[in-house]
Amino acid sequence: MSEYASGEHSANATSSNGVSLPFLVLSALLIGLGLFGTAYWLVTFNWLYFASLLPLVLGAYMLFTRGTGPDQA
């Protein structure tokens, strides 16, 4: 019987979960805020709302960091 089938390492596999739920929620909120602001900018062409691209890009970048667990897929 292999050492992986015996269950010895099953606790190690679950404890290495690097997904942070608050980090995921924050990135989703930033993306949502950025998308809303960008859509509002496209409707009004008020350059103040052009800055909403910053939270959009920041939230998208957060999805590709280790806090959201890309190595878990």
How do the domains of the chain map onto residue ranges? 20-66
pLDDT tens string 7-28 = 555 554 544 566 788 888 999 9
Q: Which of 72, 56, 66 is nearest to 23 (CA)?
A: 66
Tell me how far apart the alpha carbons of residues 59 and 14 are, in angstroms, rounded to a whole number.
Answer: 26
- pLDDT score, position 7: 56
For the whole prediction, is pTM greater than 0.75? no
pLDDT at 59 over 90: yes
CA of 51: how far to CAs of 19, 29, 44, 57, 61, in Å? 29, 16, 13, 11, 16
Q: What is the predicted pLDDT for the residue at 36?
A: 96
What does the block give as tokens for 53? 């691209």
| Contacting residues for 19 by C-beta, under 8 A, at least 6 apart | 67, 68, 69, 72
